[in-house]
Chains A and B, each alone.
Chain A
Amino acid sequence: MSDIMKMASLDSPAAVWIIFLFILVFMGFLFYVALMDKNHADDMAAKPLDDSDLLLDHEIDGIRELDNDLPPWWIKLFYVSIIFAIVYMLGYHVVDLWNLPDAEYVAELQKVETEDQVKKANMNSAGSSGSGAASGVVEVDLKAQALASGKKLFIQTCAACHMADGGGGLGPNLTDKYWVHGGDKASIVKVISEGVPGTAMVAWLAILQTEEKVEAVADYILSLQGTTPANPLPPKGELYTP
């Protein structure tokens, strides 16, 4: 629950509140009905409702109809929704006040890009401001960034067969010390780049396109050494000790 609330505040609060509003309205309806039930039941016992002056002169199969006015709030609701519709169509399609889906998407990407640039600029200014300690921080930062991009690629491309935690599935377990084709970084890079003929391991260099990406994945795989996956496959290959 608290997790939901946390996510709610991060993502699209308007939408979430509208949805909570649904539940409130639903409860409100029930409450309203219960209240009507109680009050009216008591009222009716005392004084039966008399609206016979509003009865229309027709009757079908015993059913009569009253000539009550339309509830004013209901008419207003209808008018407001019609005005909303007109404003919405004009705003989106005539005066281009708001973004349609394609433009919305471009804007979303631009926003992320600008944020990225701001981040990078901050980092650069931190780096150029001089002291050795600061540049050390930047180096660590860059390393962490490379590892993060390796993780991202791993989850997108490797997890289908090796599982997201590296525990292995169609492909071997990557968290233990046993390797089928060698456990040093160069061997791992080679396997990723060229694939293993005769297995589901395809040559990823052609797909990922840059060696940096392959290396980032290899670094991330090495970082999995010694972790404990949920359903690890038994070790396969030869023991490798660095």
Chain B
Amino acid sequence: MSTETIRYDNKVVLHFLIASTLFGVVGMMVGLLIAMQLTNPAFNLGPWLSFGRIRPLHTNAVIFAFVGNALFMGIYYSLPRLCKTPMISPLLSKIHFWGWQAIIVSAVITLPLGITSGKEYAELEWPIDIAITLVWVAFGINMLGTIYKRRERHMYVAIWFYVASWLAVAILHIVNSIELPFSYFHSFSYFAGVQDALVQWWYGHNAVAFFLTTPYLGMMYYFLPKAANRPVFSYRLSIIHFWALVFIYMWAGPHHLLYSAVPDWAQSLGTVFSLMLIAPSWGGMLNGLLTLRGAWDRVREDAALKFMVVAITCYGMATFEGPMLSLKNVNALAHYTDYIIGHVHVGGLGWNGCLTFGVLYWLVPKLFGTKLYSQKLASWHFWLATLGIIFYAVALYFAGITQGLMWSQFNEEGDMLKYPNFLETVLQIIPMYYVRALGGSMYLIGALVMCYNLWKTAREGDFIAEDEAQVPTRIGALQTNKGFHRKLEGMALPFTVFSVFAVIIGGLFELVPVIMSEVKNPSKPLVGIYSPLELEGREIYRKEGCVNCHSQMIRPFRAETERYGDYAKPGDYVYEHPFLWGSRRIGPDLQRIGERPDLTAIWHYNHMIDPQTTSPDSIMPPYPWLAENELDLSLTRSKMRALRILGVPYSDKMIESALTDMKKQAEGISRELNKFDKNIDPEQWQTELIALIAYLKVLGVRVEEDPVLSETKAEEEL
């Protein structure tokens, strides 16, 4: 067999590596800041660094910048070696790298400014969504092209995971980003209410699956046997757990929406498919841990292996916890609580973080042709990270259970909530927030120790920009006598087509019926449409990221209807672009806050300026700037027009008279406030706070007849 010499490019690998560690540290620091904000609202440092705006910065930074860059690092290192060919286009590699970093920088700029789509883990606005799509396509061409040009006939399991991840993320991102722009930086989600929720959590859950899990399984299948120098435990297990995982994952999204207004059958599918995920997930864990048979003596000494073991263990833990949390009765208790935050951090800090660290400890010495600078520092990092995770998770498990139970507890007579004041249930868990911040700090310090260690390692060696390899000039023959799957691994195109089917079916079965039923038989609206001022108020709510702490989704439990009002129906959300159901109650649910007569305009005003005056010891950030910022009226009409295209029945007349209507409504609120010596000049009515109050006063108010529509109708008749 004739061979030729080729070179693998290590530069792009190093670039992604540096970006990952750098953004990882930044993302964790932002995480620590928001953890501190929950212990004391004084850590909310002005508008740009208030919790609602930078919590998405934390999640985006650690998911897309830290893990994202790390998985690209892993793919750009392993894929060419597994294909025995360099990446087809160094230019596309560069475009991919710099494009991705530009997207991250734009996130760092836009999120603190409050430019957000309002959808969790998909907060970036439409121009950035387009940029993500383009960069993802560049990455895809580069990756699939390299696979097509491979000199190794049969694709290794790591490549299966890379291909499926790329396909799934492309589909998820595009569908969930269907939105109607109304300005250069803002848009409304195309879907409304229940449909939007279902699409978003199909995306949200599978971002976890196909961005945080499957590419990392691919990395595990490459770097673990490499680092351990052991064969993979079971080829058959790889096949079965791969296909089961990529097929089943896509169905599990609705487990984020149990007891919500989405159809029952979709919720049930979410539950059962989540349960069926245990075995496929554990298949990956088993194949990882059992690959280490015969290498456990080295796990003690080798930093890379140590971290990989913790990562795989945490993966097993998180993928057991997930299905359990999808059971209705467990979910009823744990949903909206910190339990979920603990759960995702076992996955995030444990699986993603520690696997990244393990790969880095193996890869950096390789790239620099030297040994790790200090095994001792790596050992310190190991213990800081492991203990950090335990402190973090256990604290939030207790916080979550405590709060969940307090929310649902009735008094001894059974006629009244035992803790009717939501704030009591928050104050109860603040000590746990301190422990969580401690765990997070330990983890961060560990990461900094690693950065120092890797830096010194790099300084001691010399960067090997290209690795030379002898490879066959031609691709080998297809093995046809080793079973169907072996044959399939040798045929990239059919394999890709199979993967597309596997990942697409779940979404088709769940999303299409729900979207179609709304088209054919729309839900009757139970609430009115927003007046222009209320609409602007809702935009302030979206901008400030209120959704990060307040849900708008009351579940059908007596403890919730007693506390918040009637539970949610699809008709409550027909005009909600995007839906703002939220996933966590750091503060109380706000779905029916408009029905509370005791929360008057002046109460809201005082509460927003300084929450502690109306709710002593509240951890809500103060929003004094809302009373000073002028409300931007230049886009109100564009927003109404955009919403009309999406099906909200604003008439020409309403759009025409938007500004006068706003002024009228705002003056009414100003008059209310002026009774309390607020001295708001009626000419200066257009503050963001006035609009927000207008929104909160109508939020979730059920109506027989739409007040906004009927008023305009009456005027037209005159």
Residues of chain A whose beta carbon lies under 8 Å from any beta carbon of chain B: 4, 7-8, 10-12, 14-16, 18-19, 21-23, 25-26, 29-30, 33, 36-37, 39-41, 44-45, 48-49, 51, 55-56, 58, 60-71, 74-75, 77-78, 81-82, 84-85, 88-89, 92-93, 100-102, 104-105, 108-109, 112, 115-116, 148-149, 151-152, 155-161, 163-164, 169-170, 198-200, 202, 204, 207, 230-231
Minimum CB distance partner of B280 in chain A: A78
Q: Is the CB of A36 within 8 A of B278?
A: no
New A-B contacts (12) at CB < 8 Å, excluding given A44-B295, A158-B598: A4-B402, A14-B329, A15-B334, A16-B401, A48-B294, A55-B231, A58-B154, A60-B152, A68-B233, A77-B278, A92-B268, A161-B603
B279: chain A residues at CB < 8 Å are 74-75, 77-78, 81
CB <8 Å contact, B409 and A200: no
Question: Which A residue's beta carbon lies closest to that of B271?
Answer: A88
Q: Which residue of B lies closest to A54 (CB)?
A: B231
* Nearest chain B CB to A136 CB, angstrom units: 20
The answer on a CB contact under 8 Å between B286 and A74 is: yes
Out of B289, B558, B606, B616, which one reaches A108, CB within 8 Å?
B558
Q: In whole angstroms, how far apart are the Cα atoms of A89 and B408 in the complex?
A: 27
- Contact partner of A25 (CB less than 8 A), chosen from B269, B317, B339, B598, is B317
Chain B residue nearest to A28 in the complex (CB): B317
Verify if B524 is at the interface (C-beta below 8 Å from A): no
- Are B597 and A68 closer than 8 Å at their CB atoms? no
Residues of A within 8 A of B235 (CB): 56, 65-67
- Cβ distance B705 to chain A, nearest Cβ, rounded Å: 20
With a cutoff of 8 Å between Cβ atoms, the chain B residues found around residue A22 in the complex are 317, 320-321, 324, 397
Q: Identify A155's interface contact among B272, B290, B316, B420, CB under 8 A.
A: B420
Contact B236 A160 (CB under 8 A): no
Cα A19 to Cα B393 in complex, Å, equals 12
> Does B276 lie within 8 Å of A157, measured CB to CB?
no
Majority secondary structure, A binding face: helix
Contacts of B278 in A (CB 8 A): 77, 81
Is A88 touching B236 in the complex (CB atoms < 8 A)?
A: no
Contacts of B392 in A (CB 8 A): none
Contact residues in A for B408 (Cβ distance below 8 Å): 11-12
Asked whether, in the complex, the Cβ of A12 is within 8 Å of the Cβ of B339, the reply is: no
Determine, out of B170-178, B296-304, B541-549, the stretch whose residues face the partner at the interface: B296-304
Judged by a CB distance under 8 angstroms, whether B416 is at the interface is yes
User: Once bound together, how far apart are the Cα atoms of A34 and B519, in whole Å?
Assistant: 56
Give chain B nearest CB distance to A106 CB in angstroms: 9
Partner of A11, one of B244, B398, B409: B409
Contact A92:B264 (CB < 8 A) given known A105-B556, A158-B598? yes
Chain A contacts for B140, CB-based, 8 A:
none
B259 with A112: CB separation less than 8 A: no
User: Is B382 interfacial (CB-CB < 8 Å)?
Assistant: no
Within the assembled complex, what's the spacing in Å between the Cα atoms of A148 and B324?
38
Interchain CA distance A102-B282 in the complex, whole Å: 34
Q: Say which residue of B237, B282, B616 sits within 8 Å of A77 (CB atoms).
A: B282
Contacts of A69 in B (CB 8 A): 234, 236
Residues in A with CB closer than 8 Å to B272 are 84-85, 88-89
CB distance from B502 to the nearest CB of A (A): 17
Main secondary structure of the interface of B (DSSP, over half): helix
Contact B329 A12 (CB under 8 A): yes
Q: Note all chain A residues with C-beta closer than 8 A to B137.
A: none
Other-chain residue from B271, B300, B556 in contact with A41 (beta carbon distance below 8 A): B300
CB atoms of A36 and B296 under 8 A apart: yes
Q: Give the chain B neighbours of A158 by CB distance below 8 A.
A: 598
Decide if B240 is an interface residue (CB 8 Å cutoff).
yes
| B415 / chain A contacts, CB cutoff of 8 Å | 116, 148-149, 152
Q: Does B653 contact A (CB under 8 A)?
A: no
Q: How far is the CB of A135 from chain B (nearest CB, A)?
A: 21
**Given A11-B408, A202-B597, CB of A70 within 8 Å of CB of B297:** no
Residue contact A156 to B675, C-beta cutoff 8 Å: no
CB atoms of A63 and B237 under 8 A apart: no
Name the B residues within 8 Å of A169 (CB-CB): 613-614
Contact between chains at A30 and B405 (CB < 8 Å)? no
Q: A170 touching B603 by the CB < 8 A rule?
A: yes
| Also in contact, A12 and B313, with CB within 8 A (given A65-B235, A88-B272, A160-B599) | no
Q: Report the separation of the CA atoms of residues A21 and B334 in the bound assembly, to the nearest whole angstrom.
A: 14
CB-based nearest B residue for A58? B154
CA distance A81 to B278 in the complex (A): 8
A33 contacts across to B, CB distance below 8 A: 289, 309-310, 313
Residues of chain B within 8 A of A44, CB atoms compared: 294-297
Interface membership of B87, Cβ < 8 A: no
Please pick, from B317, B394, B406, B675, the residue contacting A199 in the complex, using a CB distance under 8 A: B675
- B233 near A66: Cβ-Cβ < 8 Å: yes
Question: Given known contacts A49-B293, A77-B279, A160-B603, is B226 in contact with A63 (CB within 8 Å)?
Answer: yes
A interface footprint on B317-334 (CB within 8 Å = 1, 0 otherwise)? 100110010010110111
Pick the contact of B406 from A7, A21, A60, A115 — CB < 8 Å? Answer: A7
The 10 A-B pairs of least Cβ separation, nearest first, read A40-B296, A49-B294, A85-B272, A78-B279, A105-B556, A64-B231, A68-B234, A41-B297, A65-B235, A7-B405
Contacts of B286 in A (CB 8 A): 71, 74
**B548 to nearest A CB, angstroms?**
23
B184 interfacial by beta-carbon distance below 8 Å: no
B252 to chain A, nearest CB (A): 11
- Give the residue of B264, B316, B339, B414 whose beta carbon is less than 8 angstroms from that of A19: B339
**A15 contacts B329, C-beta separation under 8 Å:** yes
Q: List chain B residues, Cβ under 8 A from A26.
A: 317, 346, 393
Q: A44-B294, A69-B234 are in contact. Are A200 and B603 (CB under 8 A)?
A: yes
Chain A residues, Cβ within 8 Å of B300: 37, 41
Q: Is B185 in contact with chain A by the CB < 8 A criterion?
A: no
Bound state CA distance, A169 and B300, in angstroms? 60
Which residues from A are CB-within-8-Å of B616?
Answer: 163, 230-231
CA distance A100 to B261 in the complex (A): 12
Instruction: Determine if B333 and A16 form an interchain contact, defined as CB atoms under 8 angstroms apart.
Output: yes
Contact A62 B556 (CB under 8 A): no
Q: A7-B406, A112-B414 are in contact. Are A67 and B236 (CB under 8 A)?
A: yes
Pairs A–B under 8 Å by Cβ, sample size 5: A33-B309, A60-B156, A152-B420, A161-B603, A170-B614
From A18, A71, A85, B276 is in contact (CB under 8 Å) with: A85
**Residues 350 to 401 of chain B near chain A (Cβ within 8 Å):** 393-394, 397-398, 401
Chain A residues with Cβ under 8 A from B156's Cβ?
A: 60-61, 63
Closest Cβ–Cβ distance, residue B500 to chain A (whole Å): 24
| B265 is an interface residue with CB less than 8 A from chain A | yes
Provide the bound-state CA to CA distance between A25 and B282, in Å: 13
- Tell me which of A64, A82, A93, A102 contacts B232 (CB under 8 A): A64
Complex interface residues of chain B between 551 and 590 (CB less than 8 A to chain A): 555-558, 561, 567
With CB as the reference atom, state the residue of chain B lying closest to A16.
B401
Q: Is B222 an interface residue (CB 8 A)?
A: yes
- Give which listed residue, A60, A93, A157, contacts B598 with CB less than 8 A: A157
Is B409's CB under 8 angstroms from A37's CB? no
Q: Is B676 an interface residue (CB 8 A)?
A: yes
- B614 with A63: CB separation less than 8 A: no
Is there an interface contact between B603 and A18, defined as CB atoms closer than 8 Å? no
- In this assembly, does B4 line the interface, its C-beta being within 8 Å of a C-beta of chain A? no
Cα A118 to Cα B310 with chains together (Å): 55
Asked if B600 lies at the interface with its beta carbon under 8 angstroms from chain A, I say yes
Minimum Cβ distance to chain A for residue B322 (Å): 10
| CB closest chain-B residue, reference A105 | B556
Contacts of B393 in A (CB 8 A): 26
Tell me which residues across on chain A come within 8 A of B309, comparing CB atoms. 33
Chain A residues within 8 Å of B600, by CB: 200, 202
Q: How far is the CA of A40 from the CA of B228 in the complex (A)?
A: 14
